[in-house]
Amino acid sequence: MASEVKFEKVDFYYGAFKAIDSLQLTILARKVSAFIGPSGCGKSTVLRMVNRTNELVAERTRLEGRVLIADENIYDGVDLFSLRKKVGMVFQRPNPFPKTVYENIAWAPRIHGVKRTDELDEIVEKSLKRAALWDQVKNKLKSSALSLSGGQQQRLCIARSIAVNPEVLLMDEPTSALDPRATARIEDLVEELKADYTIVIVTHSMQQAARISDSTAFFLSEGAGRPGRLIEFGETERVFTNPSSRLTEKYITGRFG
C-alpha cells in the first residue's frame, strides 16, 4: 500500500535556526518525486521530516505545521516505531549492517515479530528479488554484506527497507557514491518500485531527476542562515521545460548552485 505524504504550512527549526519556511507540498502515491536544489537548501531536512529522523541527527529540533501520511498527522502522538517501519529510508552512502546478506534483510522483520524461519526465508527472497539482487547474491546469503560491491550494497539497503512493507520510500542521493552503471541499475529499480511505493528521491543530478521522476520539487535558500523554501513543484517535464519561476530556470540551466 502506498500513501500520500502531505506537508501543511511546515516550519522546521534546528535549535534557533529556521531551516525550512512554510512548506506546502503534496507528494503523490505511486509516483517518484525528486527534490532538487543547491546544497544546504533543506532537501535532506524535508526528507527526514517524513520518518522523523531529524530528531536523531540533531538534539533540538522543532516542527510547526502538520505532516500527514495517509491523512494522519505524524507529529501528533504517533508511535515512532510504527511510523519508521512505514517509511523506508535509503542513505547516500550504502550502509548495510556488518552482518550477513541474509541477516541484513531478516533483521527488521524479526524485530517486528516475524519468528518463523520459513517466513523469514520467504521475505528475504522476495525482497532481494524485488531489489533485483537475488540472482547475484542467492549463493552468498551467508556472506558478509560488506563483501558486496557498492551498487549491490545499495540495492541490499533498498531490499532491507522493502522487507518491512513500507508505504513510503525515502532516498537521499542514493546514487551519489556509485559509478554510472550501478547508478543506472538503481534508477531502473526505482522505476519498477514506484508501482508499489511512494518514492521521494533527493538528487544533485538534473539528468537523474529528469529521467526517473514524475514530479520535481525545487528548494532554495537565499543564503547561509536563511531558511530553505519550496520554490516550485510540478510535473517533472513541465518544471524542466517550462519552469514557472526564474529561480528554477536559473538553477536547472546551471547558473547557480
Shortest distance in whole angstroms from residue 96 CB to another protein? 8
Residue number, 44 or 61, with CB nearest to Mg ion: 44
Q: Which stretch binds another protein (CB under 8 A): 5-13, 36-44, 105-113, 229-237?
A: 105-113
Burial of 104 (0-12, 13-18, 19+ CB in 10 A): buried
Residue number, 133 or 217, with CB nearest to ligand ATP: 217
* 42 lies in the binding site for ligand ATP (CB under 6 A): yes
* 154 lies in the binding site for Mg ion (CB under 5 A): no
Residue number, 36 or 133, with CB nearest to ligand ATP: 36
Q: What are phi and psi of 174, to 5 degrees?
A: -70, -15
In the shown chain, the binding pattern of residues 187 to 216 toward ligand ATP, with x for contact by CB under 6 A and - for none, equals: ------------------------------
* 175 lies in the binding site for another protein (CB under 8 A): no
Q: Among residue numbers 40 through 69, which ones bind Mg ion (CB under 5 A)?
A: 44
Binder of ligand ATP out of 5, 32, 41, 87 (CB under 6 A): 41
In the shown chain, the binding pattern of residues 86 to 105 toward ligand ATP, with x for contact by CB under 6 A and - for none, equals: --------------------
Residue number, 123 or 231, with CB nearest to Mg ion: 231
Binder of another protein out of 13, 14, 75, 91 (CB under 8 A): 91
Pairing of the two strands 198-202 and 17-27:
unpaired
* Binding partner selected for residue 45 from another protein, ligand ATP, Mg ion, none, CB under the kind-specific 5 to 8 Å limit: ligand ATP
Contact residues: ligand ATP, CB under 6 A: 14, 19, 37, 39-45, 57-58, 228
